[in-house]
Chains A and B, each alone.
Chain A
């Protein structure tokens, strides 16, 4: 009896600090953000709170007819649509190679391929800005050697987002690679043996054994990656500052400018919530597709 009560009290005491911190510094602000998104908090309100007005859903309505907001949504979806499949393909390819029994120095390769993941985003974005330089960049130099004319990667509105995608794939593929390697190890070897005995080619084995075996992992990985890529911010902040011509303004970059450049905190909070809705929508969609694909 006494142990029971002790455990009760101890339990709450143990979780209280963490729960309090998360409650006060995360849940309260999230609720406050919703309230804020229903107001016109701007620099006038910053000067004097009496200048704050409740505006209902006007921020949301204004955003939904604002072409710049839609461009930011479009840019972000473009980044996700191009970046997520490429990232996952690169991760899967690297994982398949690493998983092969023929590999020598496996720990070295694993560390090398994973290294970009732990690097500081801002620092490597700075590096890539030089690599992508139209005139002095190594990438254009290498392309020039194989006869491809110089591309103004970060200066041309059509190339800026693809350039950021290439960078993001390089930076992130190692993360999912590790998850895929673990996933590959859960596929029973006898399935491969059986396929081999049936005379299935390597490609067919990949298609009929590996991919179905990895199904749930691929779903999980794509969920995580989409959620992460929807939060694109530091890359355009460092590499292009949203340009050229708004071509790399993402939803979060838009929020940052609204919030901390123009100080339209009401609008910025509404942007944050719309991003949340977007993320939730993509997740639900993805889960629905996964359920149908994996269903009986």
Chain B
């Protein structure tokens, strides 16, 4: 009985915290189903008077957000595939293969983590311009194809692969590529899911770089389209909230399904920033 009061306090506080954390998202969903103009009244309504899909219709039919959704989905998927390919190979090699200069190169890469990415943005823009990669998806994908964080993540995990396993395969005459494909990849499965989740979310949510690289509105990703929409449609709260739902819902869903992997990556990444 002595524990009852603290238990109520702890759980009560958590309920309040959860409400604070979720309220803006719930409000977003609620307003997205209101009729045009309904949210602009006082006191602010919490629930739609009569739920309506008007905002979504406007968003998809007139603002063409479906295209932006497809762009985001395509870019996030391809970036994830590229990042998996390159980072997993490199992460494994840095952990398990012995080659000249390995540690020095890895140290150099880790050093890059202290340089904010924005330093590279301007010259990168000029470089991609000469390569003809500005204002198309290539410009968004190329810098996302490999990253120090991803390599680091995979390397930490791959360190735990027992050397004997690899040696045994080598003695049997298996090529390094074969070893990688049939022995290493299955072991790295969980961390690959982690890396995939991270990359997908990061690409989906990215703002500053696509804002700079993409100038054609048919190529906009959801965040860019939403930011652009919000500068012209400030007064249309319902429309903007529907846009926010379309942008946020997929990543929230993905997170809820894969959170075990996501949180593992988060912890691994912060062991040694």
23 contacts between A and B (CB under 8 A): A4-B98, A11-B102, A25-B142, A29-B123, A33-B120, A36-B123, A102-B3, A103-B11, A109-B17, A113-B21, A118-B251, A119-B251, A120-B204, A120-B248, A123-B226, A123-B244, A124-B24, A128-B24, A174-B21, A175-B266, A237-B207, A237-B227, A279-B114
- Which of A68-76, A191-199, A254-262 lies at the binding interface? A254-262
The DSSP consensus for interface residues of chain B is helix
Contact of B24 among A170, A256, A272 (CB under 8 A): A170
Q: Which residues does chain A contribute within 8 Å of B259, judged by CB atoms? A: 111, 114
Of all chain B residues, the one with the shortest Cβ separation from A174 is: B21
B159 within 8 A of A: no
Given contacts A127-B241, A276-B119, A279-B114, whether A22 and B147 have CB atoms under 8 Å apart is yes
Q: Are B247 and A122 in contact (CB under 8 A)?
A: yes
Q: Within the complex, what minimum Cβ distance (angstroms) separates B217 from chain A?
A: 15
Q: Which residues does chain A contribute within 8 Å of B31, judged by CB atoms? A: 130
Q: Are A6 and B176 in contact (CB under 8 A)?
A: yes
Of all chain A residues, the one with the shortest Cβ separation from B247 is: A123
A138 within 8 A of B: yes
- Which of A12-20, A53-61, A205-213 lies at the binding interface? A12-20
A224 within 8 A of B: yes
**Cross-chain pair count, CB within 8 angstroms:** 271
B186 within 8 A of A: no
Q: Which residues does chain B contribute within 8 Å of A265, judged by CB atoms? A: 122, 126
Q: What's the tally of chain A residues with a CB closer than 8 Å to chain B?
A: 90
A223 within 8 A of B: yes
Q: Which residues does chain B contribute within 8 Å of A128, judged by CB atoms? A: 24
B70 within 8 A of A: no
Q: What's the tally of chain B residues with a CB closer than 8 Å to chain A?
A: 96
User: Which residues from chain B sit less than 8 Å from chain A, CB to CB?
Assistant: 3, 6-7, 10-11, 13-14, 17-18, 20-22, 24-25, 27-28, 31, 39-44, 85-87, 89-90, 92-94, 97-100, 102, 105, 109, 112, 114-124, 126-127, 142-143, 145-148, 151, 170, 175-177, 180, 201, 204-205, 207-208, 212, 222-224, 226-227, 230, 234, 237, 240-241, 243-244, 247-248, 251-252, 254-256, 259, 262-263, 266-267, 270, 273
Q: Are A18 and B24 in contact (CB under 8 A)?
A: no
Of all chain B residues, the one with the shortest Cβ separation from A271 is: B118
Given contacts A14-B90, A18-B146, A136-B41, whether A272 and B118 have CB atoms under 8 Å apart is yes
A8 within 8 A of B: yes
The DSSP consensus for interface residues of chain A is helix
Of all chain A residues, the one with the shortest Cβ separation from B120 is: A29
Return the CB mask of A217-231 against B: 1 if under 8 Å, else 0. 000110110010011
Of all chain A residues, the one with the shortest Cβ separation from B245 is: A123
Return the CB mask of A7-51 against B: 1 if under 8 Å, else 0. 111111011011101100111111011001000000000000000
